[in-house]
Structure 1
Amino acid sequence: MRQLIARRLLQTIPLLFFVSIACFALVKMAPGDPVLSFVTPNMHAEDIERIRHNLGLDKPAYVQYWLWLKELFQGNLGYSLVNHQPVMDQILDRLPATAGLMGSAILLAVLLAIPLGLTAGANRDRWPDKLVNLFSYIGISVPLFWLAILLIYLFAIHLHWLPSMGMRSIGVNSAMDVLKHGILPCVVLAFGFLSVYVRYIRSSTIGQLKEEYVQIQYAFGSTKKTIVFRHVMKHVLLPVITLLGMSMADLVAGAIVTETVFSWPGIGSLGMTAVKGMDYPVIMGITLFSALFLILGNLLADILYGLADPRIKGAR
């Protein structure tokens, strides 16, 4: 296991390097010019070029990348072109909000998917299965932004039960206020993953119920509920760990959409603001953090799978 962790961590360095090159190239090829956000109607061409020089945008692209890479090795992601604040500080300030939202969404999705998927698989082609399948199809088909707008209209505008945006109310500093603001974003982000996990657990449950150990448990007089939630669940949940690792990319993308719609002060909304303003250093910093999160998330999934299944642990 230690060799696996060391090998994966070493692979992280060249992978992040290639991610940074690809991101920098895409940013440079994108239309737009960040200097235009500083230009006024009466500004002379010399002043515009002076701004471009001060921002370091008058140098060749490979020189700009090399200078950025040198700063990165020193633990510095540069400064924002828009607000001139350190990129690292901005990301670290917003990281807890994003981590809390994504962690809560995944936890909610898994906790609901386990009983729903097991129940649907144990009652194949009956009304519980059909009801859960209908719910899953809706979750897979509905776009996140549309679901977010629908929930905002229903619970924030029409019923006035929950706030529609932000993370805190003005003048209020309590955990309960943060919890109320986080309910809608968490539900929206978890909904799509819940549908996928339910379908996967349902399919695995149906397959496990055909195994010989299930018939043996029936012969010993065990009830179907006991077999499903005590024996089948152990075999079903192991592959779910791998599924969680595979969902990390969709989780990051979904968090960006969710944070943008709900004005959640996380890395996703910061990234959208940076894209609109062509803020290259912020875009690069967020891309690297997202790539690092995906790599570490998949590594954690492999480690948990190895700890849960001694056969996998021994093989590695």
Structure 2
Amino acid sequence: MRRLIVRRLLQTLPMLFFVSIVCFILVKAAPGDPVRSFVTPNMHAADIERVRHNLGLDQPLYVQYFMWLKECLTGNFGYSLVNHQPVLDQILERLPATAGLMASAIALAVIIAIPLGLAAGANRGRWVDKLVNMIAYIGNSLPLFWLAILMIYFFSIKLHWLPSMGMRTIGTDSALDVIKHGILPCIVLAIGFLSVYVRYIRSSTISQLREDYVQIQYAFGSTKRRILFRHVMKHVLLPIITLLGMSMGDLVAGAIVTETVFSWPGIGSLGMTAVRGMDYPVILGITLFSSVLLILGNLLADILYGIVDPRIKTTR
């Protein structure tokens, strides 16, 4: 297991280097000029060029990249062009809100998907299977932003059950208030992944029920429920662990949309604000930080897969 972790960590280094190059080129190719954030109507052309020189934007593109990469390796992601605060401090300040929302959505999706997928796979072709499949296809087809607006309309505007935006009520500082604000964005973010997980668990359950160990358990007098939740579920969870690592990219993208609609103070809403304000240092920092989270998520999935499946430990 230690070799697996070390090997995966070494493999992430060239991947991060490649991701940093792509992020830098994409941001530089975007329309707009960051110098405009410092330009005032009374500035002369010489003053504008002085600002461009101080920002290092008059250097060749590869020089700008290595200067930026050098600062990133020391933990300095630059300063925002809008509020002039350190980029890393802003990301770390909003990271707990995004991490809490993503972890809650994944936990909710897995907890609901396991019994639904097992029930659909165990009753293949019956009304339970058809109902679960219909719900999964509908959930997979709904756009997140439309679903979020629909949830706000019904549960916040019409029924007045839950708050529609933000993370806390002004003047209230309690965990219950944060949970109430997080219910709607958590449900919206979980629905998209719930549909995918249900279909994977269903197909895996169908294949596992054909294995010989299931017939042996039936021969020993075990009930169908006992076989499903005591034996089949162990094998079903293996592809889910891999799927969790593969879905990290969609999770980050979904969090950006969800946080923007619900005004959730996370990294996603910070990124959208930076895009609207052409705040290039913040955009670069968030893109690189999200890539690191994606790579670490896949690394964690590999480690968990090795812990759950002992056969990986003995395989070179």
TM-score normalised by the shorter chain: which range applies?
over 0.9
Which deviates more, 61-70 or 91-100? Answer: 61-70
Matching residue's letter, 1:81: L
Match of 2:252 in 1: 252
Match of 2:99 in 1: 99
Consecutive unaligned residues in structure 2, runs of 5 or more: none
Match of 1:70 in 2: 70
CA RMSD, 1 decimal? 1.5
Q: How big is each residue's C-alpha offset from its partner over 1:184-235, in whole Å with a ceiling of 9 and x where there is no partner?
A: 1100111010000000101111111112221222222221111111111111
Match of 1:158 in 2: 158
CA distance in 1, matches of 2:50, 2:229: 69
CA distance in 2, matches of 1:8, 1:230: 32
Which deviates more, 35-44 or 193-202? Answer: 35-44
**Partner SS for 1:315:** coil
Matching residue's letter, 2:174: S
Q: State the shift of 1:258 in Å.
A: 0.8
CA distance in 2, matches of 1:215, 1:8: 38
Given that residues 271 and 282 in structure 1 are in contact (C-alpha distance below 8 angstroms), is that contact kept between their aligned partners in structure 2?
A: yes
Consecutive unaligned residues in structure 1, runs of 5 or more: none
CA distance in 1, matches of 2:39, 2:185: 37
CA distance in 1, matches of 2:55, 2:166: 32
CA distance in 2, matches of 1:206, 1:186: 30
Matching residue's letter, 2:270: L
Match of 1:9 in 2: 9
Q: State the shift of 1:240 in Å.
A: 1.1
Q: State the shift of 1:40 in Å.
A: 4.8
Q: State the shift of 1:43 in Å.
A: 4.9
**Partner SS for 2:313:** helix
1:156-195 superposed matches below 5 A? 156-195=156-195
Q: State the shift of 1:236 in Å.
A: 1.0
Q: State the shift of 1:47 in Å.
A: 4.3
Match of 2:296 in 1: 296
CA distance in 2, matches of 1:18, 1:293: 15
1:178-217 superposed matches below 5 A? 178-217=178-217
Match of 1:109 in 2: 109
Matching residue's letter, 2:208: Q
CA distance in 1, matches of 2:35, 2:170: 34
CA distance in 2, matches of 1:76, 1:35: 20
Given that residues 55 and 81 in structure 1 are in contact (C-alpha distance below 8 angstroms), is that contact kept between their aligned partners in structure 2?
A: no
Which deviates more, 27-36 or 155-164? Answer: 27-36
Within the alignment, does 1:30 sit opposite 2:30 as a pair? yes
Given that residues 34 and 277 in structure 1 are in contact (C-alpha distance below 8 angstroms), is that contact kept between their aligned partners in structure 2?
A: no
What TM-score, normalized to structure 2?
A: 0.95
CA distance in 2, matches of 1:227, 1:70: 56
CA distance in 2, matches of 1:97, 1:14: 29
How many residues matched?
Answer: 316
